[in-house]
Amino acid sequence: MILIGQYDSPFVRRVGIALTLYNLPFEHRPWSTFGDADKIRPYNPLTRVPTLVLDNGEVLIESHAMLDHLDSLVAAEHRMFPTDEPARRQALKIAALATGLGDKAVSLFYERLL
């Protein structure tokens, strides 16, 4: 797998951490959406990070979908999200809230910087 994006993004970082904790082999390409958009665009027409290129060539372009896929690659007892309801739904809700908070923090950072 190839993880595209810099670790200064909380979304890239969360996927990188999951890949590492799951001990899944991957190549990291620390491309920036600003300086390396032309490199990212062939994989992700939205030129957003993270972008995860799977071994079969399929591309995932949203960090939650990436984590869900990575969860499916490991044994149930090692997964980040429970497999049974309602625990799975509750964990997904918490992850969505955390992701939304991260997204707002990034937006606030860019608003202040730019």
Paired tokens of 47: 């030129």
Domain 2-80 fold is Glutaredoxin (3.40.30)
Q: With contact defined as beta carbons under 8 Å apart, do 95 and 64 qualify?
A: yes
Give the span between the Cα atoms of 76 and 4, in whole angstroms: 27
Quick check: pTM over 0.85?
A: no
**Helices first, then strands: H and E counts in the chain:** 4, 4
Q: pLDDT (tens digit, 0 to 9) for every residue of the chain, 114 residues total?
A: 999 999 988 889 999 999 999 999 999 999 999 999 999 999 999 999 999 999 999 999 999 899 999 999 999 888 988 988 999 899 989 988 988 887 788 788 878 877
Contact 32, 26 (CB under 8 A): no
Distance CA 69, CA 66 (A): 5
Domain ranges of the chain: 2-80
